[in-house]
Structure 1
């Protein structure tokens, strides 16, 4: 019996793979880096053009040659698109500094290729890139992510009628954002990060199918009246102290207005100065609508009595809360009022009947310890409480905090306090 040579065995295996159906080959190629997919063209004549119909074209940080210039990187992308045949379902280019002129050509090409998922997370030496109007001809888009570009929506734009996910970190104007969102009727997930670019008066979110909203910006108002399906919301008001007083004078949004429209919310994060902003004109004891579905709450607080009252107002209106995350961000101007507030036990009549997990971040003052005491004494089902101290607390201060916490009464005999060190150190590990 004759043995097969090693080369013959390899060739037979290669031929077996070569004859796989095109849809199976495409599934193999999309799981490979584009660089490796192109390299298969040297395997044999059969493989020379197999990669050219790959439906997902992804250029990430590991894809292009390290140390290559902007022009060289852009040329590689040009060549891939030039040789590509058939529809492109996904195009992604991230982590690179690229010349603006090439991006425009790519978008024109992709608008004619049935693109469904487009991700451009690139940097430009000239600052922001003027997004070409051809982007609005990509009518089959389901998913769009753009960073570092100037977005201007033409008045004639008819809408992205298939778009489900929109992620923007761009320079744009209030009217353009409103126009774009209102013309995406199927939109389910929206992420906007525009805080460093512009001061917005009011974000009007008109998206009847919206389920998830993440917003980071400087703004005076937020309307969610036409987003009844919203279940996950994270709002971060980023503002410097010197602009805070001017912003407060134009306050057109309250805690009741925001959460009252979102009675189906399940996960809520109020970050930065947003809770203080919502509480500026006063806070009711309870919200007008009970948040029966709210399971996760994340809040950034400071030593401001109205912020604390806002925090308590939300808690009283959230009877089924299971997870609570509090981050102390410093600031606040009424420490005397806060001390009096914590001394009035009547204020803290909210019971965490279903709370199972709590997390306190950047603990650094006696003020922060009061939140811990309040939670431990009012959470009969609590299982874990994670504590992170702020970086300026020294070992002696940490030891004092831990000793004090161990003396606090606990409504749950199973509650475990877990100290995880300084928060800054923890996230850098």
Structure 2
């Protein structure tokens, strides 16, 4: 639905206010403002919507006429592209300011996404926007994506339950006592100083879901050699986490030395674990993975996003030694295992067979590519579960390759 698809007639003006609000609240933010011209009854309905999302990539400034252009731009018949981009950026932030100034009532859900910029305008504008929102003290869900150092005003929100930051930097340890109500924290491609990360995690005791994804590099900044510590330092603040998503080398970045056999503080509340950038061929990463599942006794879903590293030379003997180290693992609550993007069939098969043998209530094994030969190889050793599906997924759909309704071992 969009504002242009709404027909302007007398029936619009006679709609009950609750229906008008219901229609308005389902529109994207830019369409909400456009809808305000349909009738006088609609004119200020947008100002009460509890959520707003501003994406610079999709910002349309065509409604601004020539007389509203900045003076410096009006002086050029064909302004340079850099000047046009800067002008559009200024209009984008001006539109946000106007929205916030005219908005009435609580604003619960707010999203802001800006593009790459070589100026400091992002930092100044975002700081002002965050200060305005924090004074309202109503925002519970906040999503920010901007290639700049995040202003410390981000830590002035006390009602947040969900915070997602991406493509930014956090280098100063905030002097705050936590968000108080934060349950979900997502950091995607965020360069962050280790003390700042530790401070944030240690001051949010209600955190239930934590995501930290980076891509092909480690985003945790270690400034001083003394900052290197142990894996236990990270997970001591995540002992109440229920859903955890990490890039495996982020864990490795936090410490130097031997990977412990088990975490000092078990992740007894963890139900869902997703590890990205995983490889069965790097011994230290495999040790970290085994540490995670050994320390998560109540795990229900395990997802591995594999990273193939064909340019590296590996000692395959290390893998077998590490797999034998799993003899004490028993995943009594695991229901689903998903392995994405693995072309390493040999080690995938060995690992999947191990999980099948150690998961008595496993219901689904999802693999990107499944052949009948692979299924037969997997079942060469009896699975522990009485009911298990082996599923291949591609094209966004699951394709059941094998389904068992009784224990192969007869137990």
> Normalising by structure 2, what TM-score?
0.70
Q: Is the CA contact 2:239–2:268 (under 8 Å) kept in the aligned structure 1?
A: yes
**1:370 aligns to what?**
350
Q: Is the CA contact 2:13–2:41 (under 8 Å) kept in the aligned structure 1?
A: no
Gaps of 5+ in 2: 1-7, 69-84, 398-411
Q: Is the CA contact 1:129–1:149 (under 8 Å) kept in the aligned structure 2?
A: no
C-alpha spacing 1:194/1:336, structure 2 compared with 1 (3 Å): closer
**1:321 aligns to what?**
299
The 2-side partners of 1:118 and 1:74 are apart by 24
Alpha-carbon distance, 1:298 to partner = 1.6
Alpha-carbon distance, 1:238 to partner = 3.8
State the secondary structure of the residue aligned to 1:258. Answer: helix
Structure 1 segment 20-419 matched on structure 2, within 5 A: 22=17, 24-32=19-27, 35=31, 38=34, 41=37, 47-48=39-40, 50-54=42-46, 55-56=48-49, 71-72=61-62, 99-114=88-103, 116=107, 117-123=109-115, 129-131=121-123, 132=125, 133-135=127-129, 136-138=131-133, 139-140=135-136, 141-142=138-139, 143-151=141-149, 153=151, 159-175=156-172, 178-179=173-174, 184-195=179-190, 198=191, 200-204=193-197, 206=199, 224-240=201-217, 252-277=228-253, 280-300=256-276, 301-302=278-279, 303-331=281-309, 334-342=314-322, 344=324, 346-365=325-344, 366-389=346-369, 401-419=374-392
Higher strand share: 1
State the secondary structure of the residue aligned to 1:72. Answer: coil
C-alpha spacing 1:282/1:29, structure 2 compared with 1 (3 Å): same
C-alpha spacing 1:170/1:21, structure 2 compared with 1 (3 Å): same
Gaps of 5+ in 1: 1-10, 79-95, 208-223, 390-394
Alpha-carbon distance, 1:316 to partner = 2.0
Q: Is the CA contact 1:97–1:122 (under 8 Å) kept in the aligned structure 2?
A: no
**2:73 aligns to what?**
none
The 1-side partners of 2:215 and 2:227 are apart by 15
> Normalising by structure 1, what TM-score?
0.67
